[in-house]
Amino acid sequence: MRIAILTNEYPPHIYGGAGAHVSHLVRELAALDQGRHELIILCFGEQREKSGNLEVEGIRADFSFLVKNPRHRKLLDTLFRNVLMTGRLEGVDIIHCHTWYTHLAGCLLKQLLGRPLVLTTHSLEPQRPWKAEQLGSGYRVSTWLERTAYRNADGVIAVSRAMHRDVQEIYGVPPEKVRVIPNGVDARLFRPIRNPEVLAKYGISHDKPYLLFVGRISHQKGITHLLQALELVAPEVQAVLCAADPDTPEIRQEVEQKVAALRRQGRSIVWLDRFLPPEELIPLYSQAALFVCPSIYEPFGIINLEAMACGTPVVASAVGGIREVVVHEETGLLVPVEWECPAEHVPQVAARFARDLAGAVNRLLADPERRAVMGRKARERAESRFSWTSVARRTLEYYQELAGRGAGME
């Protein structure tokens, strides 16, 4: 097959789970069937690569948009890159888009080329209302683009059963058009690796246990709830936050203020304000007492799999696809939370969630033997259930099924 993959994120520009997904999927697809399938990757950036059956082209906008509302600049930049993407393809068998950032190009190419359009559901805009803080009224446009793409797609890949339900309920996608293919983890790369030098480099004491958070500074990832919970966590525990790429200046300021307040209380907080390369992130996962994922919305949560593959138990919110990755009381603990409530009740829900999150953390911190057993089971589950090779094979079979039906021709 000749496969076109359209994505915002692609190495070296990866800041979230969608980018990690695309990176691993492309590598495995390129290796299938002795490299017989050709892959063309169009992404946001300056990448240029041609190697064997893989071609990567970064799409960039080399000028600044004149806008009345600065929050619309990112949206217009995205739309312009989509138009440029549309002129870059011909003669492909499948068009596979990741996130709303490439949905306009996907819809146009489906019509221009008469080929099947596939979308992978990493998240859905209506479930992320806080993005209005980033995009302003442009959030209505991103939601409209996403809705239009889901109504025009020939096939949808949902990364979890939860997302399978959501695309049907939110966008009315017929169930026969949706295929569940979960995310994966490279268990050869993400494995238990101890490296005290990484801890020393970032000022993390090897004499005290630490909990680890990895994620964007956004409401979605729940970092403010974790910071609230840290007030109730055992005081001798270190918190290591690999947190960067704030959604807005306001949420960054909120996190800065909360971290400063915790430090004034004598809490040990190590804040790494950037995304770390695997050679440093993997030892951080591996040597953590716990990995904590307090997301309020998570269609899947690759970071939990990465931590589990490194032999680290997880304490996570029981939302979305996380419940299909972390096995409660076996590979970690899931903390129930219900955010669908009247706005006036949100502060009480948040306070209860922070208290319950701290309780789960304290419970496992007090039981090193149980953490060790959970860590072993977490590694076994990640290794046996979530192979990227399997993900790629199932994805290719779905492409072939859609192409065989003559999808995209209507």
What value does the mean pLDDT take over residues 219-230? 94
pLDDT at 17: 82
Whole-Å CA distances, 74 to 65, 132, 134, 220, 410: 9, 12, 9, 19, 32
Taken in order of first residue, the domains within the chain and their CATH numbers are 2-184+387-404 (3.40.50.2000), 196-385 (3.40.50.2000)
pLDDT per position as a tens digit, 307-360? 999 999 999 999 988 999 999 999 999 999 887 767 777 788 889 999 999 999
- Identity of residue 406: G
What value does the mean pLDDT take over residues 385-393? 91
pLDDT at 339: 73
pLDDT at 341: 66
In this prediction, residue 63 has a pLDDT band, given cuts at 50, 70 and 90, of confident
In this prediction, residue 59 has a pLDDT band, given cuts at 50, 70 and 90, of very high
299 compared with 358, residue with greater pLDDT = 358
pLDDT at 409: 63
What value does the mean pLDDT take over residues 46-58? 96
Please check the confidence at residue 109 and state whether its pLDDT lies above 70.
yes
215 compared with 340, residue with greater pLDDT = 215
Biggest CA pair distance of the chain = 64
380 compared with 135, residue with greater pLDDT = 380
User: Which three-class secondary structure string do you get for the chain?
Assistant: CEEEEEECCECCECCCHHHHHHHHHHHHHHHHHHHCCEEEEEEECCCEEEECCEEEEEECCCCCCCCCCHHHHHHHHHHHHHHHHHCCCCCCCEEEEECHHHHHHHHHHHHHHCCCEEEEECCCHHHCHHHHHHHCCHHHHHHHHHHHHHHHCCEEEECCHHHHHHHHHHHCCCHHHEEECCCCECCCCCCCCCCHHHHHHCCCCCCCCEEEEEEECCCCCCHHHHHHHHCCCCCCCEEEEEEECCCCHHHHHHHHHHHHHHHHCCCEEEEECCCCCHHHHHHHHHHCCEEEECCCCCCCCHHHHHHHHCCCCEEEECCCCHHHHCCECCCEEEECCCCCCCHHHHHHHHHHHHHHHHHHHHHHHCCHHHHHHHHHHHHHHHHHHCEHHHHHHHHHHHHHHHHHCCCCCC
Please check the confidence at residue 263 and state whether its pLDDT lies above 80.
yes
Mean of the per-residue pLDDT values of the chain: 93
What value does the mean pLDDT take over residues 396-409? 87
pLDDT per position as a tens digit, 159-213? 999 999 999 999 999 999 999 999 999 999 999 999 999 999 999 998 999 999 9
Please check the confidence at residue 296 and state whether its pLDDT lies above 80.
yes
| Tokens encoding 48 | 């240029």
pLDDT at 309: 96
Percent of the chain at pLDDT > 90 equals 79
* pTM > 0.85: no
| Tokens encoding 214 | 């990895």
pLDDT at 132: 78
